Structure 1
Amino acid sequence: MPVDMELHVVASLLRRGRTLDQLSTGLTLLGVLFGLLQLLLITPTAPFLILSAWLIILGLWQKYWALRVAFDADLFTLMARDADALSDRTQALDQALQNLDLQPANRAGRPWTERQRGGLKLLRKQAVLLVAQVLPPLAVILASPWLPLAG
Structure 2
Amino acid sequence: MHEINEKEIILVEKFKKLLQEAPGMLECQKDLDKFAEEVSKTLYNLLIEILVYSIEKLDDKIKESEEVKENWRNIKRDYRTILMPHAVVVYKRRYYQHKQTGEYSYLVDKFLGIDSYQRLSQHYEEKIRSLFKVHKSFAGVLKELARASNPLK
Instruction: State the TM-score bracket (shorter-chain normalisation).
Output: 0.3 to 0.5
Q: Which has the higher contact order (CA 8 A, sep 6+)?
A: 1
TM-score by length of structure 2 reads 0.36
Structure holding more strand per residue? 2
